[in-house]
Structure 1
Amino acid sequence: MVIRTEKEKEMEVSSVVTNFKDHHIRSDSSKECRWDAEFAFFVLKQCIISRVLMFIIQFVMNVAVTDYPTDAFKGVPIPQVELSQVDRWIRIAFGGLTKWDAVHFLHIAQYGYTYENNLAFFPLFPTLIYSLTLIWSWAVPFIHFSTAVIFTAVTVNFVAFALCGQLLYALLLTLTKSTKLALLACLVFTLNPASIFFSAVYSESVYMLLTFCGMFALYVDPSISFIRYIIASLFFSFAFATRSNGIFNFGYIIFQLMIETIYSMALHKFIWERDCGTVLLKV
């Protein structure tokens, strides 16, 4: 009969307590970083509320403040006789969102690249709003096509911004494993000082949506080694077709490939612990 000493009993109890604590911590961690529909809906509400507030602010400022005369590009003027009363209401409501670069995007969507200074703006966003306008504008003949393009652009940016909030929440849950950090980042995203650019007829919202889609495809499931790089590359390519700085998004893919070349998350091995063929394939 084997008689255990007091020291052995203490070590056994300590081991059980340690294993229980580890299991409890892992359980809490997995629970904390799990997708929560209630939090996701909270992020969606924040996105919608921030866009409504932004719309009210731009409307009041556009009506109350007289624009200073500038030599900025003003596009092709539309004769007032061609505009209905509905056109005028829409243009007044969204007037603050169609200034500066927005004029270029609206012009490209309707007439193409007819001026040299239009070449600074990439084609995906104006092509998108033009194509979507063609789908529904025929059903409302009392709205001028140029006004319909404005309405489509504002709607696209509104939807894209709301989707950006959801993707950012999901992406940060994956990367930080913290619901608190994910929600805080989403709040900062919806209320940042540059938020007006995500509502104006600019390409920022669509560009951000495509970038987040590419990052989500790249980071959400590391076990899918090959196809996720292709999906991320497609989204980043569309982002590059939206804005010129989208070329830097491919740095995410390059960096991730470098990390996985040095250390395999699936095999839990460093580069010097794997066979040469696998390493060369990664390179």
Structure 2
Amino acid sequence: MTPGKDTVFKDTVFKDTVFKAVQETTPSIASRVGIVAYYALLSRLAIWFIAVVSHALIQDYDSALELVLPVETIAQQFFKGIFGVFLRWDSFYFVHIAEHGYVFEQEHAFFPLLPVLMRLVSNTVLAPLSSLFSYTQQLVLAGILVSNVSFIAASVQLYRLTHTLFGQERFAFLTAILYILTPSGIFMSAIYTESPFAALSFTGMLFAARRQYLLAAVVWSISCTARSNGVLYPGFFIYDLVVRMDLKAPMMSNIKALLKTTVLCLINWAGFLSVQGYGYALYCSNKTSMLEARPWCESTVPSIYTFVQDFYWNVGFLRYYEMKQIPNFLMAAPMITLSAAGIFCYASYDLQRLFSLGRSSNKASKDRPMPPFLSLATFPYIVLWTALLFSAITTMHIQIITRAFSCVPPVYWFAAHQFEEGAPGAGWSKSITTFFVMYGLIGIILFANFFPPA
């Protein structure tokens, strides 16, 4: 894509507050990265402060925290009040896995990268604190540190990715700011995989945008040890190297492209397969184990992850469509609406490009650059967004869609698109920012006090 001129934003108040510090001169990429990291850090501190205050004012809905962080001394009470706000719901599993390994079969729904990083940080960076804190407390601190540093890294990498793809400084910066205001903000600071996975996702996407496919495959392979979504990322290799293949090129060149794509896909999937292989070795092939072989071991494609999601968490096609789940669907409605609107906006802009899978377009013009969100560079990301939206509304626990989509760049590109003057489909700027801020604020208060959704 040929980079266009800087986008003109129509929300004057928002523009003045966000760009005030950088309006005088055109900053370098390095200085803008520093500004993005600074705002990301401020957002983490603000979320922490709001969570601690709301926890002090509101009684917890659940007392499970007392089992992990018992309160027997003043120091333990202080630790619980300051850091316990990030230890909720799924966080308990990650702390338990980090401390004891995989003890229960249902824990295999939670992938090992975050627990491994928690243990590593606890045993190195936080080791000097062992005389002050118990090992469990050290792991909690490590998890919080990993998540928050990962969020800052994710914010920076999304800025770099956006700038690389579209070449528009302000659009990239606004995208990063909207990501920092993400409605799933509390989950990005808690002991959850959202931030590490987003950082790895955006880094891999940045490598792919630079045609550094091997680096992208390796990074995405690591991401597959954090969340299963990473198995979808080979779609970028398939799109770039196969779908957009030059059919007039020599046959040997295209064969090499197919082989290259195959190797890259296998590298990408290696992370997920290694996690499944560990589960298989633990429950199915370890003859000296005291554990009995589980029924999923005899499946045609044995996968502990799919079994656990099905058996313990009731994840399956249309299983969530029950009357009692209506509140969860209402909770998810804003992100569903935003996603559906963004996908429709992109698809309807150029039907020829849509049906040709990006091989031809009736909108492309050198004299009239497309808005970044509507450009061809966005196409594979829209396909990913569509696949994830379909999976979310048919199969996933729908209440997690907002945090699950924290790793999907077009969510934030479409949000930034709303601030472009005269761009097709723009016009929700105030609604978008209100949703981001209000949903995020409510989420902090609910999560900090152990209220759903999780």
Distance 1:77 1:201, change over 3 A: closer
Aligned ranges for residues 232-271 of structure 1 at < 5 Å? 232-262=216-246, 271=247
Does structure 1 residue 282 correspond to structure 2 residue 257?
A: yes
Change (3 A) 1:35 1:246: farther
CA gap of 1:191–1:78, structure 2 versus 1, over 3 A, is closer
Q: How does 1:56-135 map to 2 (within 5 A)?
A: 56-69=49-62, 77=68, 80=71, 85-135=74-124
1:130 to 1:85, Cα distance in 2 relative to 1, 3 A: farther
Q: 35, 39, 63: which is aligned to 1:46?
A: 39
The superposition leaves residues 117-148 of structure 1 with CA deviations (integer Å, 9 ceiling, x where unpaired) of 21110011111111221114442212111111
Give the CA deviation at 1:52: 1.0
1:212-231 correspondence to structure 2 within 5 Å: 212-220=202-210, 222=211, 228-231=212-215
The alpha-carbon deviation at position 75 of structure 1 amounts to 9.4
- State how many pairs are aligned: 238
Q: Aligned-pair distance for 1:60?
A: 1.1
Q: Which runs of 5+ in 2 are unaligned?
A: 7-25, 259-454
Residue 184 (1) aligns with residue 174 (2): yes
Rg larger in structure: 1
Deviations 1:184-232 (A, max 9, x none): 1111100021111110110111111111111111112x3xxxxx22211
The AA in structure 1 aligned to 2:37 is: L
Give the structure, 1 or 2, with the largest relative contact order (CA under 8 Å, sep 6 or more): 2
Runs of 4+ in 1 over 3 A off after TM superposition: 25-29, 73-81, 84-88
State whether residues 69 and 80 of structure 2, in contact with CA within 8 Å, keep that contact through their aligned partners in structure 1: no
* Normalised TM-score (structure 2): 0.49
Separation in 2 of the partners of 1:64 and 1:241? 38
- The 3-state SS of whatever aligns with 1:66 is coil
- Alignment of 1:171 with 2:164, yes or no, is no
Look up the SS of the partner of 2:132 in the other structure.
Answer: coil
| Deviation, structure 1 residue 26 | 8.2
SS in 1 for 2:111: coil
Deviations along 1:9-68, whole A, 9 cap, x unmatched? xxxxxxxxxxxxxxxx98978xxx995233222211210111111111111112211122
> What TM-score does the superposition give when structure 1 sets the normalisation length?
0.76
Separation (CA, whole Å) in 2 of partners of 1:36 and 1:149: 35
Distance 1:260 1:204, change over 3 A: same
Q: Which runs of 5+ in 1 are unaligned?
A: 1-24, 223-227, 263-270
Q: Distance in 2 between matches of 1:252 and 1:35?
A: 29
Secondary structure of 2:115 counterpart: helix
- The answer as to whether partners of 1:75 and 1:103 remain within 8 angstroms in 2 is no
- What displacement does 1:151 show? 0.8
Cα distance in 2, alignment partners of residues 282 and 146 from structure 1: 49
User: CA offset at residue 80 of structure 1?
Assistant: 4.6
Write the distance in 1 (CA, Å) between the matches of 2:214 and 2:156.
22
Which secondary structure state, in structure 2, belongs to the residue aligned with residue 241 of structure 1?
A: coil
Residue 250 of structure 1 aligns to which amino acid in structure 2? P
Q: Find the aligned partners of 2:76 and 2:146 in 1 and give their Cα distance.
A: 19
Between the aligned partners of 1:52 and 1:164, the Cα distance in structure 2 is 16
Deviation (angstroms), 1:259: 4.6
Q: Structure 2 counterpart of 1:277, which letter?
A: M
Taking the aligned partners of 1:129 and 1:103, their CA distance within structure 2 comes to 13
Q: How far does residue 250 in structure 1 lie from its aligned partner after superposition?
A: 2.1
The answer (yes or no) to whether the contact 2:98–2:116 under 8 Å persists in 1 is yes
Q: CA-to-partner distance for each residue in 1:250-280, whole Å, 9 max, x for gaps?
A: 2222222225523xxxxxxxx31x2221111
1:219 aligned partner, one-letter code: A
CA contact 1:54–1:196 (8 Å) conserved in 2 = yes
Tell me, in whole angstroms, the C-alpha distance in 1 between the residues paired with 2:27 and 2:35: 15
Q: In structure 2, what is the Cα distance between the partners aligned to 1:276 and 1:149?
A: 54
